[in-house]
Amino acid sequence: MGYEFRIHRAAVTELRKLPTGVDDRILDKLEEMVTNEFRDLRDYDVRKLRGTSSDVFRARIGEYRVFFLLDGDLVVVLHLDDRRSAYRSLGTLDDRASEY
């Protein structure tokens, strides 16, 4: 099963602000999550968020949190940040998800 993988333009900016090497590690882990046909999202510490109108999930990747939309074969990274401040801007997730 193939997935279409996208990164929201705001998440691209957030990704560029991460320390050197962290961005590659996060992208590698996300790619592994969507391309591994035998994957179980629980193996990647993924949880569905409550309080959003879309199917938005949170993945823990080290000290960072990645929030993404999972809609059929489409995976869209909506937001990412370090664990201390990642949950402060959850209100924008539905707005970003509605673009897809």
Q: What is the pTM of this model?
A: 0.85
**Using one digit for the tens of pLDDT, what is the confidence trace for 37-92?**
666 767 778 888 887 778 899 999 989 999 998 888 788 999 999 999 888 878 88
Read off the tokens for 4.
Answer: 């279409």
The dihedral built from the CA positions of residue 40, 30, 11 and 65, taken in this order, carries a sign that is positive
CATH number of 4-97: 3.30.2310.20
At residue 1, the pLDDT reads 54
